[in-house]
Structure 1
Amino acid sequence: MSQTLNEQIDAVAKFGMLKADIPDDITTNLASNIKLRPYQRAAIERWLFYIDKYDGRPKAPHLLFHMATGSGKTVLMATLILDLYRRGYRNFLFFVNSAQIIEKTKENFMNPASSKHLFSPTVRIDEKPVEIRAVETFDAVSNDAINIHFTTIQGLHTRIQAPKENSVSIEDFRNYKVVMISDEAHHLNAETKNTLTKGEAQDKASWESTVSEIFRQHPENMLLEFTATVDLSHEAIRKKYHDKILYDYSLKQFREEGYSKDIELRQADLPPKDRMMQAVVLSQYRRKVAEAHGLHCKPVILMKSKTIKDSAENEAAFTSMVAELTGEALDTLKKASEGDETLSRAFTFIMDTRAMSGADFALELQGDFSPEKVVNVNNPKDLESRQIELNALEEHDNEIRVIFAVDKLNEGWDVLNLFDIVRLYDTRDGKANKVGKTTMAEAQLIGRGARYFPFVAPDQPDAAREKRKYDSALDTSLRILEELHYHCSHNPKYIQDIRNALRETGMLDDSARTVKLRLKQSFKQSAFYLSEHVWVNDRVRNPRDDVMGLDSYKIENHFIYPNLMTGRITEASAFSGGELKRKRSSTEPVSRDFVVANFSKSILGTAMDANEFFHYTNLRNYFPKLASVSEFISSDLYLGGATVSVRGLPEDLDNLTARQKLSIVQYTLNQIETGIKRESVEYVGTKEFKPKKISECFIDKTLKLRMEGETGLSWVKGESNVPDLDQIDLTTKDWYAYDDCYGTDQEKHFIRHLNDHADRLLGLYDDFHLLRNDKAVKLFSFESGQAFEPDFILFLRRTEWESESVMQLFIEPKGLHLAEQEKWKQEFLKQVNYEAKMHVIFQGRDYRILGLPFFNNAAPWINEFSECLESIVGTKESE
C-alpha cells in the first residue's frame, strides 16, 4: 500500500519544510490564556502546508486530526476556524454524538465569561472586527461573521429528513460552502465497518450516511474530523483514513512529553466503603499540599459503579460514612496505613506536620464532603443540565468534590482536577489475555482523568505550568498533584487486564523505572559536603536599561501595507476567449510612502487607544526611557521615524479616507507589536553568582526515569551496555559522590573519562568531587533568563601557601542529536568564564567558577573538551 497522508507529511517534516510562522490572525485572536503548545503548532503547520502547498489536495478536503485525549483538540478547532475565515469561509457546522458535549462546546466557543472561552474578547481579522454567532440556519446569515451551527448528528439527521421552518436543511449545504467539524469522530464509522453491533446498525442510517450526503452538496465543503480513538486496527476504517489523517499525535507521545498526570494503580484488599475513605483522605491531602505552596486546587473524586442502582447505593453509603466519621476512626486508619507509603505520607503531613487532630480532621472532611458537594450524574437530564458545572470543576466557586457515575462521563468531559477514580465493583471481562470492552472503557476514562492540572511550581517558576515537573523528584510533596490514583480491589487478573488496556491506550509507561539516587554516606559526612558551597546565579525581570527605541527590538522603520482596493471592475465575454474589459479606471496601481506620524492626531490616538499594547503604562514596560505617548508618536526613535509603503491607484492614494488611514496606522502598530513581542525578553540571568550550601542543595532523591538507551541502567549492578564500565568500581571512587549512576551513555562516558584522569587531578589538587545535578541547582542565561541545569558540577580543591582555593566547573555531556538545538547552553557556559561575577574571596577561600564545552566521546568533541579542561586544570604552579 502507498504511503498514508500522515507518512507523506512526516517525510516532508524531516527536512524542515513544514516550519512556518502561525498567522497573526490566529495567534492574536485566541484567548489570552491560550499559548499554543509545540504539538498544536505542529498540527497547524501541517494544516497550512496541506492547504497551501500539498499538490494532491482535493478541492473539498476531508481530514482527520487523530489526537490524544486532553491534547486540546477544541483549541485546534478554534485556530482552524480563524484561518478558514481568512480563506473566505463563513459557515461552520459543529456536530457530535452527545448533547452534553454540545453544551460544553457552546460554552467554550460562545461565552466570553467562561474560563475556557477560546477566543479573545474582540476578534479582528484583516483589521476588521468579526462577530462569532451561533445560528439555527445558514440562510440570510451575516457574511462578515463566523456563523456556527451546533448540533448532535442525530438531531441533524432528523432535521435533514424532516425539515422544519427556521431550521437547517439540505439546501443550506447546496447554497453555501460549509466547514463541517466533527468532534469524537470515531462515531462516524458505523457504515464503514463490515460487521456492526446492534447499536451501530441503528446509527448507520443516521450518522455516516448523513454526513457524507451533506459533504457532497457543495464542491468547496470541508469535513474536519477530530478524535482520540479511531479504530485503525479495523481494516476498512484504516483504508478509509489512508489519505485523510493529517496529524497523528498519540496518547503515548502526550504522556511522554509530560502533558498528562502519571497513573498510579492502588489495589487494596478492602471493601468499597474503605476504598472510598482512602480516596477522601488522599484528596484532602492534595488540597492541603497545594494550599501549603500557595496554590488553589480543589481535587475531585470519581466514584464509578457498575449499575445505576449500585451507584445510588454507594452514594448513600458514602453520605452515611462521612456523616458518622470520627476522630477515633481516622486515628485507627492512620495507624493501619503504616505499610502504605502514599497514605501514610498523607496522614503524616495532615496530622503531624500540620498538627491537626483526628477530631478536627473528621470535622473538616464532613464539611468538605457534605452532601451538597456530592453529585450523581446517572440521570441523562440531570447530566445535561449540569454539564457546564461539571466542565468548570476547577473554578474557585465550584465546590463539587465527589461525582458518582456509571458511564455518563466517558466522553466530552474536560476536567483537569480529577485525581482519584474509585472502582466500586470487582468484575472483569478480559479473556485469554485479551482486553474486554468494559476494561478498555475504564482505561479510556483513566486517560480522560489523566489530563494534567496546570500550576506554577514555587521552586520552578520558569517551568511550563502545563507539564509535569517532578519526574526527577518523586519525593517532593507537590508530586501528588501530578498523579492520578485509580483505586480498585486486590484482583491480580483484573490488574493485569487494566494494565494491558492502559498499555494499549498509551497511558502506561512500560519503560519507566523508579530508582534511588543516594549520596555516599562517606561523602555526606565529609567536611566538604557539610561546609562547602556551590555558586549559582539568579533570574530577574529584564530592566531593559539599554532599550532606546524600536531599533533595540530589531524593528526596521519601513513597512509595506497590503494593497488598497483598486475599485477596478473587469468583464469577460463568454465567447471572446476570456479577453478582459476594464471599467472605471485604466490607471495602473503604484506604490507611495507615507510618514505615519503625519496622519492626524485623532487617527493616531484612535488607533493607539484601541490597542492596549500601546497604552502608556504598557509601553513603559518595553521602553523604560519613554516619557509620554506623544514622544512615542513624534520621536524618530519610535513611531515618528516609521514610514509605510501603500500600493493603490494614484487617485485613491491622493485622497485616502479617514478609515483607510486608520487601517494603515493599525496595520503598522500591529507589525510593531509583533516585532517587539518576538524580540523582547522578560527575564535575564544575573551575572553575579552567589553561594548556596552544598548540603542543602544536594540530597538523596527518588527518580522516575524512562528507559531509553543507557538512561535508567545501573552502572554498579552491571546493567550498562557502555564497554569497559565494569572495570571501574564506582562505589570505591571517593571523588564520585553517589552510590550509582543511571545516566545517559555520554554521562557514563564522561565519568569514565574523568576516572582515566583521576590520578593526574589528585597530583594537582588535594581532592576533587563530582556531583550529579538532578534539579539541585539551576543557572539562568544572561541574555534570556532561560533556565539551565548542567548535568555535573566538578569541584577541585587545593591548599597553597596557607590559602585554600576551590574551582567549580559546570559540565554538560551531550548526545550529538541534541548538540545543535541546545547550542545556546554551550554558548552560555563559555560566557560564564568571562562574565560571571562573584566574591572571589569567601570565608577565607579563593573561588573560581568556569564552564566547559559540551562533552561527547566522539571526535572532534572529545578533543575540544580535553583541551579546555587541560587549560583550566593546568599544573600545580599555574593559577
Structure 2
Amino acid sequence: MSQTLTERIDAAIEFADLESAIPDAITDNLASNISLRPYQRTALERWLIYMDKYKARPKAPHLLFHMATGSGKTVLMAALILDLYRRGYRNFLFFVNSAQIIEKTKENFLNPASAKHLFAPSVRIDDKPVDIRAVDTFDAVNTNAINIHFTTIQGLHTRMQAPKENAVTIEDFRDYKVVMISDEAHHLNAETKSKDKLTKDEAKEKASWEGTVSEIFRQHPENMLLEFTATVDLSNDAIRAKYADKILYDYSLRQFREDGYSKDIELRQADLPPEARMMQAMVLSQYRRKVAESHGLHCKPVILMKSKTIKDSGDNEAAFTAMVAGLTGEALDALRAASEGDETLSRAFTFIMDERAMSGADFARELQGDFAPEKVVNVNNPKDLENRQIELNALEDRGNEIRVIFAVDKLNEGWDVLNLFDIVRLYDTRDGKANKVGKTTMAEAQLIGRGARYFPFIAPDQPDAAREKRKYDSAVDTPLRILEELHYHCSHNPKYIQDIRNALRETGMLDDTARTVRLRLKDSFKQTSLYVREYVWTNDRVRNPRDGVAGLDAYKIEGPFTYPNLMTGRVTEASAFGGGQLTLKPSSKEPVSRDFKLADFGRAILGFAMDANDFFHFANLRDYFPQLASSSQFVTSVTYLGGVIVSVRGLPDDLDNLTARQKLDIAQYVLHQIESGVKRESVEYIGTKDFKPYPIKDRFTDKVLKLRIEGETGQSWTESNVPGLDQIDLSGKDWHAYDDSYGTDQEKHFIKYIHDQEAWLRGVYDDFYLLRNEKAVKLYDFDTGRAFEPDFVLFLRKKDEEASTILQLFIEPKGDQLRPQDDWKQGFLEQVKTKARLETVFQGRDYTVLGLPFFNETGQTNTDFKAAFETEALDV
C-alpha cells in the first residue's frame, strides 16, 4: 500500500532533517493570551514544510487536520489564516454543520472584546495594518483585508442552488481564489460512504453537503480546502481512502489526554434516584468553587444535567428547581451521613462544614442562592439555543453566573467550555449489545470528551507549571486535584458502566493502564536526624535583569540588512480599453545595490517608524536594553540604530533620490527584522545561582500518584522485569527513603547501582539516603530559567567530632530516546558544582550541592556518570 501523506511528511522530516520556523506574521498577530502549545506548533511546522518544501504539493491543496476535541483547532485556523494572507489569500469561506456554532465562531474571530478573541488588537503583516471582516459576498471586498464569509454548509448549498442578490454565489468562487475552512468536517463525508451504509439523514445530506463543497473547490485552480475534525471515521474504507493523501496532522484524543491537556474522567455510579444524583453534583460543584477560592483562584463550576427526551429534561429541571427551593440543613446533614463510603463526597462535606465551619443551614442557603432559577438554563429549544450561543460560549467569564444546563443533545458539537466539571445522566437505559458500543453510548462518550477540556489555572504551589496542563497526577490527594477531574454521574448499572467504559476507551478518554498508588516514606527514615533537621537546597527563577545588554549585538543582531523590494524603474503599459498586449519599457540603466546608514534617514523618519511599532516604544525598549537612557540614544548610538547598515537594490537615480515614503518603508522593514531578532534571542527568565535551604520534611512527603503503566513505568519494584531486582528487598533498605519504586527501567537500574555501591558508600559516609523526587523540588536552568525536576536527590553525610559534611547530589537517569531533547538538563546539572552558591551558614554543618551527568545503564553515558559519581563522592 502506498504511503499516506502523514507518513510521507514524517519521512521527509526525519531523513531530510526538515524544519520550518513559525513566521512572526503568525506569532505576533495571535491574541496575547494565546501561547501556542507544542502540538499546535508541530501542526504549523508541518503546514509550513508542506507549503514550502513538499515538491508533490498540488496547486490547490485539500488537507485534513485530524485533532482531538479541545485541542484548539480554532487557534490553528486563525494561525493558518494569517499565514495564508502572507501568501496572498484574502478571501476565506468558513462553514460548519450547525447554525448554533456560527455566532460563537464570529465572536471568536471578530470581537476584540471577547475573552476568546483569537487575534491581536492590531494585526500587522509586512508592517501594514490588516482588518478582519465578515462579508456576505466576495464581490468588491477590501483586497488588503482578511474577508471571511461565515455560513453553515446547508445554508451554503441552498444559496448555490437558489442564488439571491447580495449573497455569495458560485461565480464568487470562479472569480476569486478562496480558502475554504470546514469545522467539524466529518459531516462532509455522507457522499463518500457507500449507499448501503448511509443512514436516512445521511442520504438526505448526500446531494448537498459533500457535493456542494467539492463543486466550489473545483471552481478556481488556486482554491484551497482545509478540513478540521476530531472524529473522522477512518474505520470506513472509503473515507480512509479519501483522506490517505490529505491528513497533514493527526493528534489523537488519547495522545491529548496522555500529554496532560484534558481533565481526568471519574465515573460516579450511585444507586440513587435522579434527584439525589443532582444534589450530589450540586454539592461537589460548590466544593470545587470553594477549593478554588481558598487558593485564590476564580472558578465557577458548571453542571450539565442530561436527559433522554425534551419532556424529561423539562420535568428534571422542575424537579431540580423544587429541590433547591426546599433545601434544608437537615437534608444536607442526611446526605453527608449517607455518603460515608463516598470518599470524594465525604471530603467535600469535611472541607465545607468542618474546615470552613459552615453549618448545614448556612450551606443550604448558600446553595439556594448559587443555584437559583436565574442561574439555570434549558437549551433544548433550537431557537433559544442559537440566541444563547454567545452566553454559553462564555461560561468562564466572571460576569456569567450560569451554574446548571439542562440538555438532551443540543450541545454535542461546537461547545467550547472549560469549566464543565459534572455531567449527570438522568436516565437509565443502554443500547450496547454483545459487548459492542451503541450509538447513544458513543455520543455520551464524545460529550464526556468535550466536557473534559482542561480548566487552565496557575497553581499557587507550582507557579511555573503550565496553566493549561494537569499538575497533580503525582499528587492526586492534593485539594486542587478536584479542578482536574470531570465527574460523570450515573445510576448503578454494571452493564452500562461497562458500555461507557468501552466507549471512552475507544475514544481515547479512558486509560486501561492507569493506576493509583501510594508512595510512602519509611517510618525509619522519618525518624532520622537528616529528615527532621536537615535541608534540601534549590534555586529560584527570576526575571532576566539583562545586566550585560548594552546594544544590539547582545542579541546577535548583525548587519547589513538587505531590503527585499527591488526598485527597478521598469514600467508596464496597457490600453485602458483592452485590445492591446502589455508592453515593457526597460530602463537604460541596470539596478545596483547600495548601503545606507539607517541613521542618515533622519530623526523624523526613524521616530515615525518607531512610534508606529509598539515594540520600539521607550518603556518596552528599556525591558530589553536596561542601560538605554533615551529613545534618542537608541536612534543615534552606534551600538543601536546608529550603527545599522541596510543594503538597498535599485536604479542609481532612484537610490540617489529616495523619497520619504521609501525611507519609511525601509526603516520599518529593518525595525521589524531587529524586533524579530531580539525576541528570538531574548530570555525572559534565568535561574539564580544562589541556592536556598528548605527543610527536607516539608518538601518530601507521602504521595498518592496516578500513573500510566508504560513499560517499567508504573510497575512496582516487585512487579519489575529488570534483571536482578528480585534479589533486592527494597523495603528493607534503610537508605531508600520511600517504600517502593514505580519509575522507569533506567530509574530502577540506578537504584540497583546504588545498592551495588552500598558497601563502598558506607565505608566513606556515616549514612546516605536516596529520595525519589515526585515534584518535591524544582531547579531552574541558569541561562534560560527552564524548570527541571531531577528524578533523584542523594544525600551523603559524613560526621566527625566537631561538624558534619552533607553532600547533596541531583541525579537524572535517562533513556537514550529522550537524550536529544533533554541534553540541556545534563548541561545544567554539570554547571551546578561551579555556579551554585550556598550563602546560608549553619553552625556545625557544611553543605555541598552537585549535579551529575545522566545515568544510563549502558554505554559511554554510564561511564561518564560513574566517573563523576566516584570522583565527587570521594571528594569530601
Q: TM-score, normalised by structure 1?
A: 0.97
Give secondary structure in 1 for the equivalent of 2:83.
helix
**Deviation, structure 1 residue 68:** 0.7
**Match in the other structure for 1:802:** 802
**Deviation, structure 1 residue 244:** 1.1
**Deviation, structure 1 residue 61:** 1.4
**Match in the other structure for 1:693:** 695
**Match in the other structure for 2:791:** 791
Residues 1:186 and 2:152 are matched in the alignment: no
**Match in the other structure for 2:564:** 562
Q: Is the CA contact (8 Å cut-off) linking 2:692 and 2:840 kept in structure 1?
A: no
**Match in the other structure for 2:232:** 230
**Match in the other structure for 1:709:** 711
Distance 2:153 2:569 in 1: 44
Cα deviations by residue, 1:95-137 (Å, 9 ceiling, x for unpaired): 1110011111111111111111111122222222111111111
**Corresponding residue to 2:364 among 362, 365, 374:** 362
Q: Is the CA contact (8 Å cut-off) linking 1:538 and 1:779 kept in structure 2?
A: yes
**Match in the other structure for 1:467:** 469
Counterparts of residues 149-228 of structure 1 (less than 5 Å): 149-194=149-194, 195-228=197-230
Cα deviations by residue, 1:344-372 (Å, 9 ceiling, x for unpaired): 11111111122222121111111111111
**Corresponding residue to 1:445 among 441, 447, 450:** 447
**Corresponding residue to 1:429 among 408, 412, 431:** 431
**Deviation, structure 1 residue 570:** 5.7
Cα deviations by residue, 1:223-263 (Å, 9 ceiling, x for unpaired): 11111111011111111111111111111111111111111
**Regions of 4+ moved over 3 Å:** 15-18, 564-567, 569-572, 579-582
Give secondary structure in 1 for the equivalent of 2:463.
coil
**Match in the other structure for 2:272:** 270
Q: Is the CA contact (8 Å cut-off) linking 1:840 and 1:847 kept in structure 2?
A: no
Distance 1:331 1:566 in 2: 86
Q: Is the CA contact (8 Å cut-off) linking 1:840 and 1:848 kept in structure 2?
A: no
Distance 2:377 2:620 in 1: 45
**Match in the other structure for 1:303:** 305
Distance 1:598 1:258 in 2: 53
Give secondary structure in 1 for the equivalent of 2:859.
coil
**Corresponding residue to 2:334 among 313, 332, 335:** 332
Distance 2:252 2:663 in 1: 48
Distance 2:571 2:207 in 1: 48
Q: Is the CA contact (8 Å cut-off) linking 1:18 and 1:45 kept in structure 2?
A: no
Cα deviations by residue, 1:542-597 (Å, 9 ceiling, x for unpaired): 2221111111122114322212453424699xxxxxx9964152432222222112
Counterparts of residues 347-746 of structure 1 (less than 5 Å): 347-569=349-571, 582-715=584-717, 718-746=718-746
**Match in the other structure for 1:855:** 855
Give secondary structure in 2 for the equivalent of 1:702.
strand
**Match in the other structure for 1:74:** 74
Distance 1:865 1:362 in 2: 61
Q: Which runs of 5+ in 2 are unaligned?
A: 575-580
Q: Is the CA contact (8 Å cut-off) linking 2:563 and 2:649 kept in structure 1?
A: yes
**Deviation, structure 1 residue 497:** 0.6
**CA distance 1:420–1:567, change in 2 (3 Å):** farther
Give the number of equivalent residue pairs.
868
**Deviation, structure 1 residue 18:** 3.8
Greater Cα shift, 365-374 or 86-95: 86-95
**Deviation, structure 1 residue 14:** 2.5
- The residue type paired with residue 158 of structure 2 is T
Distance 1:550 1:558 in 2: 13
Q: Is the CA contact (8 Å cut-off) linking 2:153 and 2:209 kept in structure 1?
A: yes
Counterparts of residues 97-136 of structure 1 (less than 5 Å): 97-136=97-136
Distance 2:28 2:151 in 1: 28
**Match in the other structure for 2:867:** 867
Distance 1:420 1:567 in 2: 68
Distance 1:384 1:600 in 2: 56
Give secondary structure in 1 for the equivalent of 2:384.
helix
Distance 1:565 1:116 in 2: 42
Give secondary structure in 1 for the equivalent of 2:241.
helix
Q: Is the CA contact (8 Å cut-off) linking 1:855 and 1:862 kept in structure 2?
A: yes
Distance 1:827 1:437 in 2: 53
**Deviation, structure 1 residue 820:** 2.4
Residues 1:5 and 2:14 are matched in the alignment: no
Q: Is the CA contact (8 Å cut-off) linking 2:127 and 2:672 kept in structure 1?
A: no
- The residue type paired with residue 780 of structure 2 is F
Greater Cα shift, 501-510 or 838-847: 838-847
Give secondary structure in 2 for the equivalent of 1:798.
strand
Distance 1:871 1:305 in 2: 68
Task: Report % sequence identity.
Answer: 77
Cα deviations by residue, 1:648-688 (Å, 9 ceiling, x for unpaired): 23233222222222222122121111112112222211111
Counterparts of residues 740-819 of structure 1 (less than 5 Å): 740-819=740-819
**Deviation, structure 1 residue 297:** 0.9
Distance 1:336 1:657 in 2: 83
**Deviation, structure 1 residue 610:** 1.8
- The residue type paired with residue 116 of structure 1 is K
Distance 1:652 1:266 in 2: 76
Distance 2:777 2:618 in 1: 38
- The residue type paired with residue 73 of structure 2 is K
Q: Which runs of 5+ in 1 are unaligned?
A: 573-578
Give secondary structure in 2 for the equivalent of 1:860.
helix
Distance 1:4 1:297 in 2: 44
**CA distance 1:114–1:841, change in 2 (3 Å):** closer
Distance 1:614 1:236 in 2: 55
Give secondary structure in 2 for the equivalent of 1:247.
strand
Q: Is the CA contact (8 Å cut-off) linking 2:64 and 2:227 kept in structure 1?
A: yes
Cα deviations by residue, 1:385-424 (Å, 9 ceiling, x for unpaired): 0000100111111111110000000001111111111111
Greater Cα shift, 736-745 or 659-668: 659-668
Greater Cα shift, 6-15 or 105-114: 6-15
**CA distance 1:220–1:840, change in 2 (3 Å):** closer
Cα deviations by residue, 1:691-727 (Å, 9 ceiling, x for unpaired): 1111111100011111111101111xx2101001000
- The residue type paired with residue 399 of structure 2 is D
Greater Cα shift, 13-22 or 40-49: 13-22
Greater Cα shift, 130-139 or 411-420: 130-139
**Match in the other structure for 2:578:** none
Distance 2:872 2:158 in 1: 79
Give secondary structure in 1 for the equivalent of 2:180.
strand
Give secondary structure in 1 for the equivalent of 2:339.
helix
- RMSD of Structure 2 on Structure 1 (CA): 1.6
Cα deviations by residue, 1:198-233 (Å, 9 ceiling, x for unpaired): 111111111111111111111111111111111011
Q: Is the CA contact (8 Å cut-off) linking 1:65 and 1:245 kept in structure 2?
A: yes
Distance 2:683 2:371 in 1: 45
Distance 1:88 1:73 in 2: 22
Counterparts of residues 21-100 of structure 1 (less than 5 Å): 21-100=21-100
Q: Is the CA contact (8 Å cut-off) linking 1:18 and 1:46 kept in structure 2?
A: no
Cα deviations by residue, 1:804-857 (Å, 9 ceiling, x for unpaired): 111111111111111222111111111111111114741421111111111111
Cα deviations by residue, 1:61-113 (Å, 9 ceiling, x for unpaired): 11111111111111111111111112221111111110011111111111111
